[in-house]
A and B are shown apart, each in its own frame.
Chain A
Amino acid sequence: MEQVKITAALIVAVLLQWTLRNVAEPLTFIDFPLIIVVYAALRGSSIRALFYATFAGIAVDALSGGLLGANGFSKTLIAFIVSEIVRRVYVDNLLLRIPVIAGACLLNDLVYYGMHRLLGQSPTGQFVPTVAYTLIGTTIAGTIIYLILDRFFAENIRKGKREVFAPRRQTRRRNPIRLGSRR
């Protein structure tokens, strides 16, 4: 069920990316598909995240003046890196997800720009402002979207209680009397 929900979220993200720039120019600095790809990777479904990344990247590239496959390349790489981070580090709370989405966005922009330069293309947007605005826009939007996705999609989150901070492991108290009596 979760798979269907994330796929639906990805399709909505691609549609938003296709349309929102014509409604308001600043919305172009939010990378909606990247937010969902990172979310899928954070949920621990690494193989699915890779496929989502390639599909979303090519769908975005198809309506862009950039190279076909550039977004697919950068997003696939991001999905893999985030999956590897999730494998090693506990990032299942909102505050830890913020640096993950910010880092993913920065790396995505660097790889995207780098691939274009490597293949002799010059993007029209200026490097520093575009990277900075995309970083700010995607991080803010990503944080809000993760809150919404956790609220509506995740099944393992209890109703009315969201874990913003990592749950602290509680040590079990032992009864000293019983300890002494046991043999």
Chain B
Amino acid sequence: MAERSQKEVWKITPWLMLLLLLCNFALMAFDARQTNTQQRVIRVWAQTAADFVQSPVTFVGSAITNYFSSISSMRTAQSENDVLKQRVQELEIEVQTNKGLTVENERLKSLLELKANTNYKFLSAQVIGRDTSAWFDTSIIDRGSLDGVKLNMPIVTNGGLVGRVTAVSPLTAQVALITKDKAGLGAVVGTLEVSNANGVVSGSGQKEILEMGYVPGSIEVKIGESVYTNGQDGIYPAGLKLGEVIEVRADSATQPQRIFIQPSAKLSAMQEVAVLLYEPPPRPEFEKTLPNAKKK
């Protein structure tokens, strides 16, 4: 193949740039059309390829971190040991008391004929990658479709709800955090089935702060109250803890109050998470026939 002269290269370059820009723009426009999922062929392949790099790096990185943290924790081990011994004695007394309470609770439940709460199955996973861009906050976990992970499955930690699965490859899955602006979810302030303070929680534009809107102005919301999912969004089950109210601001007539929530899960420092193997119940037939319903 004959080599191109410099003049020819200068002539081709702007046209090539335009072509590549158009391709990228088309890709972007296609990706922006669907906001509720990020499942794309390129993503699935890239995530599968990246798993072979991310998993070993995360393994080595966490091994080194654990080694150094174990050395530093040795210093405080003796004093901690004394405190823990005392705590064990206290807990033994508490356990004995709780056993009695459990028996009593079971008896009362059977009396009231309450159904036992459905326990969802969990799948533990490790965060092996974080978002490659400084502008976003998604994470990659080491469980994929081969493990039974599906789109929109909730991700939780012992602190509370973290987010949902937005893209699945055979070995990994991408998790969008609840702080992402578009991720609106139904929530309730206070105890579920008791409180009427239902609203929509979404990202606030600040890291690790959520905003709740559409709560009626007649309902008083106090700082420190807990916020839970109410299950009305068709993605998350009801009763998952989101966080606590840290600020309530009076707003416009259409939206009387804006509630700011501190998530109870540590979103920026999570290493171990659990995939809730929950699939929302199918939408009722009348919802599918509505004129604005999404057609497949």
Contact = CB atoms under 8 A, between A and B. Distances in A.
Contacts of B207: 124-126
Interface string B141-178: 00000000000000000000000001000000010110
Contact of A65 (B14, B20, B137, B205): B137
A116 interface: yes
B53 A119 contact: no
A124 B183 CA distance: 11
A115 B27 CA distance: 12
A interface secondary structure, majority: helix
A2 to B, nearest CB: 15
A144 B69 CA distance: 31
Given A68-B28, A72-B27, A58 B42 contact: yes
Contacts, number: 175
B24 A69 contact: yes
A86 to B, nearest CB: 11
B271 to A, nearest CB: 9
Contacts of B120: none
A87 B7 CA distance: 11
A116 B135 contact: yes
A124 B179 contact: yes
Interface stretch (A21-29, A89-97, A145-153, A169-177): A21-29
Given A23-B57, A47-B9, A125-B136, A67 B129 contact: no
A22 B54 contact: yes
A19 B54 contact: yes
Interface string A108-130: 00001101100111111110001
B43 interface: yes
B25 interface: yes
B229 interface: no
A57 interface: yes
B29 interface: yes
A50 interface: yes
A118 to B, nearest CB: 9
Contacts of A112: 133, 135
Nearest to B176: A65
A25 B266 CA distance: 14
A69 B26 CA distance: 8
Contacts of B133: 28, 60-61, 64-66, 71, 112
A15 B53 contact: yes
26 contacts: A21-B129, A21-B131, A25-B268, A57-B24, A60-B132, A61-B132, A63-B46, A63-B132, A64-B131, A64-B133, A64-B136, A65-B136, A65-B138, A67-B28, A67-B31, A69-B26, A73-B25, A76-B21, A80-B14, A83-B13, A122-B182, A122-B205, A124-B135, A124-B136, A124-B177, A125-B134
Interface of A: 15, 17-19, 21-23, 25, 28-29, 46-47, 50-51, 53-54, 57-73, 76-77, 79-80, 83, 87, 112-113, 115-116, 119-126, 130, 133-134
Given A63-B47, A124-B203, 10 more contacts: A22-B57, A46-B10, A60-B132, A65-B138, A68-B31, A69-B23, A73-B25, A73-B28, A113-B135, A121-B32
